[in-house]
Amino acid sequence: MWTPVALSRDVPPLVVLPVVAGGRELALWRSASGRIAAWADRCPHRGMRLSHGFVRGEALSCIYHGWSYGAAGNCLRIPAHPDLEPPETIRVAVHVAAEAGGLIWVAPSAPEAPPPDPGALQPLRSLTVEAGTAAVLSLAGLAGDTLARGHLAGVEVTVAVQPIGPARCALHVLTGAAGAAERIALSRELDALRRRAEAGEMAA
Amino acid sequence: MTSEAIRNEWYPVALASQLGPEGRDTRLLGEPIRVDWAAQGRPRVRAADGREMATRLRYGHIWACPGTPSRELFDIPEADQPGRRLVDVGVVRVKCSPLRAVENFLDIAHFPFVHTDILGAEPHTEVGKYDVAIREEVDEVWATKVHFYQPQAAKSAAGGITTEYMYRVPAPTVSILYKTCPPRPGEWDVITLFVQPLEENLCEVWPWMALFDDETPMTDLIHFQQTIFLQDRSILENQLPRLLPLDPGMEIPTRADLTSVAYRRWLKRRGYTYGAQLVAA
Amino acid sequence: MILYDYVLSPDCYKVRLLAALTGAKITLRAVDFHPGAEHRKPEFLKINPAGTIPVMEEDGLVLTDSSAILTYVAAKAGPEWLGDDDARMRARVAQWLAFAQRLSASIGKARTHDMLQKPADIDACRAGGIQCLREIEAALVEQDILGARFLAGDRPTLADIACFPHSMLAPDGGISVDAYPAIRLWTRRIRALPGFVEMPGIHRLHDLKPEPAKA
């Protein structure tokens, strides 16, 4: 089961950030060469969140002691012991991450089908709403679940929905609208939608 | 109700120089306490039911024992040595286990990444061999012959030097660091971390120092240590699990972590589990 | 220029940061804000009767507002930071300098409450902080649509310096910054500026430094 966690555009090379997918806390990061990865957000050494770490080249390093990890989640380097070859057993739990249509998707293990492709659209923005997924979608008048479609501020939108908790979700919004004025109006409409959803307004 | 082993320890509950006549309402081991001055400048610490606890006024701080003290408050002989400046750094609240705060203080391998260009810097990341022991005669954890390269070892240090340290844990929520003293070779600067456990995952941390440094203004000394500790705070609030795992399995120590390994073993042996978790996931 | 400074104050840090970015020479005079409450003592009140930091002093000029101090440092050492390119940019800078007061009153207060036990209505401070972060995020989204990478234009100005520290330090006050992708990228841009200096709670970008070669 794929969960959308970010717009590709918002995770350029060398960026690492925390995301939640399927109830798990993950560190999402992109290597210098552009490879996207989603790992358990915890360094096996002392439990520090890896999402606070830093990316150099193709490795993610923990901010606490600089332990760095390669593509398979295997420990590459322990700076306190520069001559030590880290044992194979030191590993971060790796999830599957993939990109499609300007979205980053993650899954606990490789699903049979590739992630849904929203088609040729432009990313607008992601925003987190303190309200449940179903309530937000019905208030917005959008149809669908993981990829919901409809109109907001008079333009066509596709929204990838990331459930974060019973009363929290993130909306990753794509649109065909190209003009700056339309895009700004849509962005403001999303803020307005969030205000309404968080005020407990229900769909008519 | 916490166990005897936990209640019979000494805990810092206030900075004497900052405790006004209005007193201080705070918490200790999850229970409300009140700290104030009784007659003749004697500190008084009371539980919610009015019961008075054993108290001491030492090292700039007021100490309390909620149970029956299992031993006298630990001694820091250097605190009475003439010529030292005693620095009250003040309190900082941290959303973490009190034991994680102590353990972080015992760690040097994080200096290049968390205290970059102050206490450490790449590529000088190697932690050499050092000695660790649980000194049975005093029932304390000691690490000695710890050496590490520091770009700016103290406020009084200009440029990088290899600094030698000793670490000492005389009580479960107290750590004392002895460190090469640049202006006074042969002596050790003393830097402590006194931790008041409010809850199992919330604490107030009182750094305190006894230094040989006649040059640096007092406020600069305070700010240096606050800078260091606040750099640690963002780490401490982001470690998972929140409680310190005392059993092996959840975390992976290396040779650089021997002080931490000894500290956890010592806590477990004493039955000190406040802010700890025993079962590995 | 003498800056009455406290290492943990975001408002003091703004001035140190701008000085580092512009090469302005400032002399720091450490104020024992915590635990000594020196800013409330008679000697300090002679300098700033309001008892707040930062304060900047030079040749009889005394400035007690962080936005005014930033404006002064920029005017002297880096006029391009004033953002005077056109009417819109100038107004945006003024707006964000004023907005920074809301950040101090919400995130700033939540932070000193959680860290140093200063009194505050913590729920109100956190709610206000979230509202501020959402406004910055929305503004950065719009700037991006218009092809600008910073708050007042396509280059950094005082607007960014004024709003950057609290945007990064919100977690110190129990306010998450996880949900703001535009803020994340904007703060990275600021941290990548040549001459950038850090403060506790705001790390430098370790990824800008190459991995040390193996011995």
CATH assignment at residue C125? 1.20.1050.10
CB-CB under 8 Å, C134 with A12: no
DSSP conformation class of A96 = E
Alpha carbons B153 and B160: distance in angstroms, whole number: 7
Chain length of chain B: 281
Contact with chain A for residue C192, Cβ under 8 A? no
Q: How confident is the model over B72-126, as pLDDT tens digits?
A: 999 999 999 999 999 999 999 999 999 999 999 999 999 999 999 999 999 999 9
Element (H, E) at C89: helix C87-103
* Per-residue tokens: C24: 């302005």
For B260, the closest chain A residue by CA position comes to A46
Q: How confident is the model over B174-215, as pLDDT tens digits?
A: 999 999 887 788 899 999 999 999 999 999 999 999 999 999
- Taking residues B238-253, report their average pLDDT: 93
- Taking residues A2-10, report their average pLDDT: 97
- Taking residues B20-29, report their average pLDDT: 96
Q: A3-107 domain in CATH 3.40.50.620?
A: no
A184, A66, A193: which is closest to A125 by C-alpha? A184
- Taking residues C194-215, report their average pLDDT: 90
Alpha carbons C213 and C215: distance in angstroms, whole number: 6
Q: How confident is the model over A44-86, as pLDDT tens digits?
A: 999 999 999 999 999 999 999 999 999 999 999 999 999 999 9
- Give the domain ranges of chain A: 3-107, 122-198
Flag whether C208 is in a domain.
Answer: no
CB-CB under 8 Å, B123 with C200: no
Those chains having 3 or more beta-carbon pairs within 8 angstroms of chain C are: A, B
Q: Which residues of A touch B (CB under 8 A)?
A: 41-42, 44-49, 52, 63-66, 78-82, 84, 90
CB-CB under 8 Å, B226 with C34: yes
CATH architecture assignment, domain B1-73: 3-layer Sandwich (2.102)
Partners of B88 in the β-ladder: B208
What's the pLDDT score for residue B280? 53
The minimal CB distance from A47 to the residues B122, B234, B251 is found for B251
Flag whether C202 is in a domain.
Answer: no
Write out the DSSP string of chain B.
---HHHHTS-EEEEEGGG--TT-EEEEETTEEEEEEE-GGG-EEEEETTSPBPEEEEETTEEEEESS--SSPPPP-GGGG-TTPEEEE---EEESS-HHHHHHHHT--TTHHHHSBTTTB-TT-------EEEEETTTTEEEEEEEEEEESS-STT--S-EEEEEEEEEEETTEEEEEEE-TTSTT-EEEEEEEEEEEETTEEEEEEEEEE--SSS-HHHHHHHHHHHHHHHHHHHTTBSSSSEE-STTSS---GGGHHHHHHHHHHHHHT--TTEE-S--
On whether ipTM exceeds 0.90, the answer is yes
- Going by C-beta distance under 8 Å and a sequence separation of 6 or more, which residues neighbour residue A134? none
Interface residue of C34, C40, C168, C207 to substitute, partner B, most B CBs within 10 Å: C34
Does residue C30 sit in the same domain as residue C93?
no
- Taking residues B12-19, report their average pLDDT: 96
Torsion of CA B148, B150, B154, B157, to 10 degrees: 120
Contact with chain A for residue B151, Cβ under 8 A? no
What's the pLDDT score for residue B281? 45
Query: Is pLDDT at A204 greater than 80 in this prediction?
Result: no
Does residue C74 sit in the same domain as residue C105?
no
Provide the domain limits for residue C76.
Answer: 2-80
Does residue C41 sit in the same domain as residue C127?
no
Does residue C142 sit in the same domain as residue C67?
no
Does residue C63 sit in the same domain as residue C111?
no
- Give the domain ranges of chain B: 1-73, 84-277
Flag whether C13 is in a domain.
Answer: yes
What's the pLDDT score for residue B110? 98
DSSP conformation class of A110 = -
For A15, the closest chain C residue by CA position comes to C185
Q: Return the number of other C-beta atoms located less than 10 Å from residue C160's C-beta.
A: 25
What's the pLDDT score for residue B157? 60
Contact with chain A for residue C142, Cβ under 8 A? yes
| CATH code, B84-277 | 3.90.380.10
